[in-house]
Structures are given as C-alpha cells and as structure tokens.
C-alpha cells in the first residue's frame, strides 16, 4: 500500500525577501528513574541526570504563508504511534499538513526508553513499564506544545546554508579498508532581518553511542554537548541537532564522558566556523511532499519461530513469542510501513527525511544521484522502526542487515530490493517538490 501527500504553494509573493521563522524548546528530561534505551546489556534504570534532554522546534513560513516545522529530540527515536498522534493533533490545532511536520531523533543511547521503540530489547517489571508509559504520554503533550510555541514565535527571518566537515564518525562494519561514512556537517542559519542569529539547525551522520551500556545517567551524548556548546557561544540562540544517515557509524574514540564532550566540542566548533563564514542565502519559498510505502521482509514461517521460542537466548525467544502471537491472530508480519518526506526551502536547499536507522550509503548515494542539488539526508525521522540497510548490507547480514531485527521485534531481514524500493519513492517525492532528477542509478 502506498499513501502519497504533496503540498506546494505559489512562489511569487514575499515581503522584502524574508521568510518568517520561529523556534522553541521544551525540557523532555525524565522526572523519575527510567529504563534507558539502546543497549541490551544495561541491567538497571537510570541513576540521575548528567544533561537535560530537549525537544526543539523550528517553524518556517514562506511568503505565501505556507508553514513547515522541524522538530528535533534528544531521544533514541520516535515510534510511528507517537509521531502520528502528534501529527494528527498538530493538523487539527494548527492546520499543518503531514508533509510539513518533520520529527527527528538524535538516537542517544543514554536517554529513556520510548514506547514502543526496541521493546523486545527490554524485560521490564510492571513498575518499570508504567514509568515508560507515563513518559510516552508526557512526550506527546510536550511535542505538541513545542510545535505550537515555535509557530507562535514566527517573525521575519533570513535563512542561509553552509557545509562543513568533522571526522570522528567511523564505519563500524568495515574498518580495514574503511567502509562508507559521511562526514558532512550541514548548517542552516536563521537570522533576523538585521543579521542577528536566532536559530541554527545542524546535522551529522553518526550514532550517539559515545557513552556505553555501563553509563546509567541521562545524557544527550555528543549531540547534546554540541547543541549546548553552540548555544553557549551564541546566547539566546536555539541550536537544533538533526540526525543524518548514521546507522552504521560510531564515534571514534568512544567509551568515556570525556569522549562525548570532546566530540560535542568538535562538532560545535565546526558549526560556529560555518556560521562565521560565507553562507548561501535561501530565497523564500516552501514545498513539501510525503509518501508512505511498504517494505517487505524475507519469507518466514511459523515453524521457524516455534524453534526459536525454545532458544536459551531470551531476546530471540521473546521475538519468537511475539511472532507466534501474530501467527495465532492471523496477522503474520510480512511488510512494514515506511515514510519518505521532503521539505524544500527555496530553489536550492532540500531536507530529505527517511524513517528508520538509515545507513550511510543512502545519504551518500542520494547526494550523488541528485547532485548538484543542496540535499540534506536525515535518517531517524518520523518513525524509527528498524535498521534500513543497503542491498549490500542485506546480503552481508550482520547486525544492521539481520540481527537487529530481533531487538526491534520484527520477523527477520528485509528483502534485497529494499534500497531500490526506497529510492523509487525518493525520486517520486523529490520530483513532486520540483527537484530535477539529473542522474538515475548509482
């Protein structure tokens, strides 16, 4: 099943060459001990807070009053249920179409479990599950609130973009020779008409896993430290981190709080360097498109899961029991819904937002295929349902290609055509926002 939405508005009317933009933030730090997300090896809930976690929103409006809102969260990821609940409420309260709301997560592994992301990874007591449920309910309210606050903050603004690079991301699948990695640091600056910096959106393609399973304090990892550093250097500015296609990249080195702080400073310094240099202005216009497609899993059987349910591996057995329940209810899982979104600002700047833990190959390929367009490719957007491997990674297997599906509670690897299926949707969405397809193929 494919669902497709596209919104575009006239490009001609502006006031003095300005967009309007607004920003807001809300504290989403857990208020009680809670199980932390991302590492199966953790054996106890959080013990205190090292850094606050934030949801931040950037609202942009062009001359025709067409709005889009980008929301970043210091979280492991948002489930489809949370994202769509927020989107429905925002559509009702503010008239914002689904294609105009982008929800992204930094994928910190030192934040709370977010219902129902990676739930096969955790074995929670009823009290621990209740804390996760309470957090999810508050999170929905907080996201709706921060979106409304950013819209209320709209005022004339000028937008510009630049790109830098930092090198601490390392492909974790193939180190010798090094596998694909994307060191790009896109920087979107939002300034008032008199040139004062109001907000900055920046991204990087690397897991927020500097801090490991033995770390049990709430922390935004390198992305959190980078945002704090930028805001400290630019008082009054809202700094938003956009997670790009970092599914197969880890920070290097990693393992200590000092490593996380150092990577944050490195990233922030590059963002500040780009803000201080020449940036490409973006002329006011705004287009968006959204498509939901189905991704298929490789064939599986009830007998397979009956055997796995006997496994001494509790994660494998837990996933098997979930799959058997689905078979019992005559709804075995053969495909999963997948969102593809594009927001184009001006003629030359586009954010392509993909769901799931997208590996670096997607971002690198998209930027090659759609060159010379200025394209930012974000993963971890709107729904983080599983890893999104390339065809090569599906064939190779390993954690990103197969094993991670156990922890996501899914039946097994995606089919080998996953990459081409997604790129067909990417081409459709980008054409709908007026982007010329200059190349086809890899």
Residues 335 and 106: their CA atoms lie apart, in Å, by: 26
Strand partners, 185: 164
- Give the contacts of 126 (CB within 8 A, at least 6 positions apart): none
pLDDT score at 6: 45
- Answer yes or no: is pLDDT of 4 > 50: no
Q: Is 114 helix (H, G, I), strand (E, B) or coil?
A: coil
Residues 138 and 148: their CA atoms lie apart, in Å, by: 16
List pLDDT tens digits, range 52-69.
999 999 999 997 878 999
**Look-up of token digits 């059987």:** 301
DSSP 299-358: P--HHHHHHHTT-S-HHHHHHHHHHHHHHHTT----EEEEEEEEEEETTTEEEEEE-SEE
CB neighbours (10 Å) of residue 169? Answer: 23
pLDDT score at 388: 98
pLDDT score at 13: 29
Strand partners, 337: 294
Contact present, 213 and 42 (Cβ < 8 Å): yes
Average pLDDT over residues 357-381: 96
- Work out the burial of residue 32: count CB atoms within 10 Å of its CB; fewer than 13 is exposed, 13-18 middle, 19 or more buried: exposed
pTM of the model: 0.95
Q: What is the Cα gyration radius of the chain?
A: 21
Contact present, 215 and 110 (Cβ < 8 Å): yes
- Counting Cα atoms < 13 Å in the Cβ hemisphere of 34 gives 26
Here the tokens at position 166 are: 């930092």
- Answer yes or no: is pLDDT of 440 > 90: no
Residues 413 and 434: their CA atoms lie apart, in Å, by: 34
Q: Is 406 helix (H, G, I), strand (E, B) or coil?
A: helix
pLDDT score at 249: 98
Residues 4 and 25: their CA atoms lie apart, in Å, by: 30
As a whole number, the mean pLDDT across the chain is: 94
pLDDT score at 331: 96
- Answer yes or no: is pLDDT of 114 > 70: yes
List pLDDT tens digits, range 307-331.
999 999 999 999 999 999 999 999 9
- Give the contacts of 160 (CB within 8 A, at least 6 positions apart): 188, 189, 191, 279, 280, 281, 282
Contact present, 108 and 219 (Cβ < 8 Å): yes
Cis peptide before 372 (omega within 30 of 0): yes
Q: Which of 95, 192, 224, 85 is CA-nearest to residue 142?
A: 85
Average pLDDT over residues 212-224: 98
């Amino acid at each position: 099943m494919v669902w497709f939405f596209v919104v575009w508005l006239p490009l001609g009317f502006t006031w003095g060459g300005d967009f309007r933009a607004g920003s807001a933030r809300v504290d989403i730090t857990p208020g009680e001990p809670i199980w932390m997300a991302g590492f199966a090896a953790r054996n106890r809930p959080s013990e205190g807070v090292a850094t606050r976690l934030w949801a931040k929103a950037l609202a942009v409006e062009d001359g025709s009053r067409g709005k889009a809102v980008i929301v970043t969260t210091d979280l492991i990821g948002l489930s489809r249920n949370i994202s769509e609940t927020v989107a429905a409420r925002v559509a009702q309260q503010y008239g914002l179409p689904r294609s105009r709301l982008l929800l992204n997560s930094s994928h910190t592994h030192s934040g709370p479990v977010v219902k129902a992301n990676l739930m096969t990874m955790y074995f929670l007591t009823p009290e621990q599950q209740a804390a996760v449920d309470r957090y999810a309910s508050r999170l929905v309210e907080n996201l709706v609130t921060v979106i409304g606050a950013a819209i209320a903050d709209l005022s004339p603004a000028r937008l510009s973009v630049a790109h830098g690079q930092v090198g601490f991301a390392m492909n974790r699948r193939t180190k010798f020779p090094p596998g694909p990695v994307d060191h790009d640091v896109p920087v979107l600056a939002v300034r008032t008409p008199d040139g004062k910096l109001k907000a900055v959106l920046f991204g990087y393609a690397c897991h927020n896993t500097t801090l490991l399973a033995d770390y049990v304090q709430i922390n935004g990892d390198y992305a959190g430290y980078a945002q704090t550093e930028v805001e400290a250097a630019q008082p009054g500015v809202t700094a938003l981190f956009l997670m790009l296609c970092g599914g197969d990249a880890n920070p290097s080195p990693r393992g200590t709080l000092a490593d996380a702080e150092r990577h944050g400073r490195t990233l922030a310094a590059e963002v500040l360097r780009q803000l201080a240099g020449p940036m490409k202005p973006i002329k006011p216009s705004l287009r968006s498109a959204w498509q939901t497609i189905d991704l298929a899993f490789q064939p599986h059987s009830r007998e397979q899961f009956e055997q796995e349910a006997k496994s001494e591996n509790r994660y494998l057995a837990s996933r098997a029991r979930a799959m058997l329940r689905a078979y019992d209810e005559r709804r075995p899982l053969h495909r999963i819904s997948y969102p593809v979104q594009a927001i184009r600002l001006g003629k030359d700047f586009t954010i392509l937002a993909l769901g799931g833990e997208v590996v670096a190959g997607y971002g690198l390929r998209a930027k090659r295929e759609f060159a010379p367009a200025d394209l930012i490719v974000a993963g971890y957007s709107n729904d983080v349902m599983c890893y999104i491997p390339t065809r090569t990674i599906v064939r190779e297997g390993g954690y990103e290609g197969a094993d991670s599906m156990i922890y996501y509670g899914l039946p097994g690897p995606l089919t080998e055509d996953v990459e081409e299926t997604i790129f067909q949707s990417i081409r459709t969405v980008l054409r709908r926002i007026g982007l010329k397809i200059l190349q086809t193929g890899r």
